[in-house]
Homo-oligomer: A and B are copies of this chain.
Amino acid sequence: MSPRVTQRYKDEKRAAILTGALECFVSRGFQATTIDDIVKHLGISKGALYGYFSSKEDMYIQMANKRMDEMVASFSARFKDLPRAVDRITYMFSRIKAQPLQELRKWMSFHMEFMLFASRHPELVELHNRYMDKAIALLSKLIQDGQQSGEFREDLDAESAAFLFWSVRDGLAFHFLLGGQEQRYSEIISDMEDMVLRYLLINPETCT
């Protein structure tokens, strides 16, 4: 029997720490954020933090896990209401457009820093790829559905196209990270949507 502390309490505390730490990582970056920053931000002690996570790196990994899971889950859920593949693609772009640039930048820097970090820690590459696979599977399914429904070109390899899609999205976010073209943010996203649909659709003339 714990000191009146349930598993639920612990789960919530763990989640709260993750949230607080994420705020720090997102605004200052992983490397620049110190353990002291995090515990001060959360108002807890270092020992408490290390009771829930074994290292700064561990927190980072769990955080990335969580975010990727949530992203995939969120899209999956929404797709249920969108029967047409093209609408799903459109929905994804609308989500990107809807996100304030400020937010996008924070997430993008978190995302980039994680990938850089992972690129120097071989054991993380596999973890990352597992999640990437989920994201690719999500899109790949979408594209295959579109092919079966006659919306998308049959000659495309769905998996490659899915990989391409995420690359394109991240490349865009990547370039918005440093701020050029701010005024044109949504305009450029629309162009990208246009480019992607021209690539996928059988009759691109129908778009725009």
Contact = CB atoms under 8 A, between A and B. Distances in A.
Interface in A99-130: 105, 109, 112-113, 115-116, 118-120, 125, 128-129
B170 A188 contact: no
Contact of A116 (B109, B163, B169, B198): B109
A177 interface: yes
Contacts of A116: 29, 109, 112-113, 116, 177
Interface string A181-208: 1001001100110111011000010000
Contacts of A157: 187, 191
A161 B199 CA distance: 15
**A interface bracket (residues with beta carbon within 8 Å of B):** 35 or more
Nearest to A128: B178
Interface string A141-176: 000000000000000110011011011111110110
Given A169-B171, A198-B199, 4 more contacts: A129-B180, A157-B187, A170-B175, A171-B174
Interface of A: 28-29, 31-32, 105, 109, 112-113, 115-116, 118-120, 125, 128-129, 132-133, 136, 156-157, 160-161, 163-164, 166-172, 174-175, 177-181, 184, 187-188, 191-192, 194-196, 198-199, 204
